[in-house]
Amino acid sequence: MISNEVLFFAAFIVFILGMLMLDLGVFNKKSHIVSFREATLWSVTWVTVAIIFYLIIRNYGHVMHGIENQAQLNDVISKYSSLKEAPPSDPKNYEQNLDNYRRVIALEFLTGYLLEYSLSVDNIFVIILIFVSFKVREQYYKKVLFWGILGAIVMRFLFIFLGSALIQNEVVGKWIFYLFGGFLLYSGIKMFFDKDDGEAIDTQKHPIVRLASRYFSVFPRYVGDRFFIQRYGRIQITPLFVVLLIVEFTDLIFAVDSVPAVFGVTKDPYIVFFSNIFAILGLRSMFFFLSNIMHMFHYLKLGLAFLLIFIGAKMLLHKWLHSIGFENHYSLFVIIFILGSSIGASLAFPAKKKEGEEAKEQASV
């Protein structure tokens, strides 16, 4: 008999793929430059869908794990230990306990979604650099990001459920949480001191370019929005496909940070997966929404660094935090505060324009 978890997961994947195919096959049959209006519309759409999913989890989240009685609820709570932060107020009141459980996992989903969505902003910085460095035409951005998201869904699935298996392992689980926390702490500190000024990527020395050139026949120039062409009886990949591989590789690197970060919020792999997927689905539309105004939020990267440091410290100190009554919804408040502060500081103290940019503006006047 198929478990509720599998059915819930399958229904989620079918819905997401349906939305993506609707986007690609109905609304965007031809490659085109995404307007600010279109990007805004899709950004609002994906955020709205995520909020609706939050409400579904809030009211029907117990269905995901097939909870039908107190014993099954206790099993789920013991399996995903982060739920112990919100113990049942009355062990004899099943309905109240169930509602408490749904409230906790709904907040975990919302917190994980906001965290992952925030960390995706740093991914946007890098993707912009990739497109600019490889001279990809703007009308092809959306196709690359679409297929990049499909690949990201597969990679996140593997990362998340492998990570969950490690955390729940009796031997490995005792130290893997601390390993994740230490890694996030290191990543946050490294990001804080990183002085990357957005320099162009060396398109010849990039490891993915070298690998692609070594194992595939690469056509030397772009051929519209095509990833493959047939030439002299053999299949060749185009530079656009190489760019897609680089975008996938970039997401893989970012997943190493972001997936453990969400595990710092909840140990339920399904909640981690759902929050991750909704965030990366919003990444594509957010890319077009923010790409032209990204320079306005120059302190955002510092905010993301503090986010990683906070989540890393939370994972390292989770037992102590639990002992003093620190609950998961406090994390949501901290994340909102950090993001709000970095955005507010960026707007209050705009970045100084570089000499080259000032010269361009003066020349255009």
User: Is position 210 within any domain?
Assistant: yes
User: Is position 357 within any domain?
Assistant: no
**Model confidence over 140-177: pLDDT tens digits?**
888 888 888 888 888 888 888 888 888 777 677 777 77
pLDDT value for 28: 58
Residue that is written with structure tokens 């990739």 in the block? 130
Give Cα 212 to chain centroid, integer Å: 26
User: Is position 166 within any domain?
Assistant: yes
Q: Residue 331: is it exposed, middle or buried by C-beta count within 10 angstroms (0-12/13-18/19+)?
A: buried
Whether the CB-CB separation of 282 and 120 falls below 8 Å is answered with yes
Position 3 pLDDT exceeds 90: no
The mean pLDDT value of the chain amounts to 81
- CA distance linking residue 75 with residue 28, whole number of Å: 46
Split at pLDDT 50, 70, 90, the class of 91 is low
Residue 228 in 3-state DSSP?
strand
User: Is position 254 within any domain?
Assistant: yes
Composition of the chain by helix, strand, coil, percent to 5: 75, 0, 25
Q: What is the DSSP string of 110-142?
A: HHHHHHHHHHHHHHHHHHHHHHHHTT--GGGHH
Q: Which of 270, 287, 218 is nearest to 36 (CA)?
A: 287
Q: 234 - beta bridge partners?
A: 231
Crossing angle for the helix pair 36-64 and 4-22, nearest 10 degrees?
A: 170
Lowest pLDDT segment from 195-199, 237-241, 297-301: 195-199
Split at pLDDT 50, 70, 90, the class of 200 is low
Position 358 pLDDT exceeds 60: no
User: Is position 167 within any domain?
Assistant: yes
For 235, list phi and psi in degrees, rounded to 5: -85, 130
Q: Residue 129: is it exposed, middle or buried by C-beta count within 10 angstroms (0-12/13-18/19+)?
A: middle
**Model confidence over 263-301: pLDDT tens digits?**
888 889 999 999 999 988 887 777 877 766 666 777 888
What is the residue range of 247's domain? 4-315+325-352
pLDDT value for 23: 66
Give Cα 75 to chain centroid, integer Å: 29
The count of domains in the chain is 1
Mean pLDDT calculated for residue range 76-92: 62
Residue 216 in 3-state DSSP?
coil
Crossing angle for the helix pair 94-133 and 328-348, nearest 10 degrees?
A: 30
Q: Which of 28, 235, 275 is nearest to 143 (CA)?
A: 28
User: Is position 365 within any domain?
Assistant: no
Split at pLDDT 50, 70, 90, the class of 305 is confident
Position 53 pLDDT exceeds 90: yes
Position 84 pLDDT exceeds 60: no
User: Is position 361 within any domain?
Assistant: no
User: Is position 364 within any domain?
Assistant: no
Position 363 pLDDT exceeds 50: no
Residue 306 in 3-state DSSP?
helix
Q: 218 - beta bridge partners?
A: 237
pLDDT value for 354: 54
Position 218 pLDDT exceeds 50: yes
- From its phi and psi, is residue 67 left (phi > 0), alpha (psi between -120 and 50) or beta? beta
Residue that is written with structure tokens 């190493």 in the block? 256
pLDDT value for 85: 46
- CA distance linking residue 342 with residue 346, whole number of Å: 6
Per cent of the chain over pLDDT 70 is 86
- CA distance linking residue 223 with residue 231, whole number of Å: 12
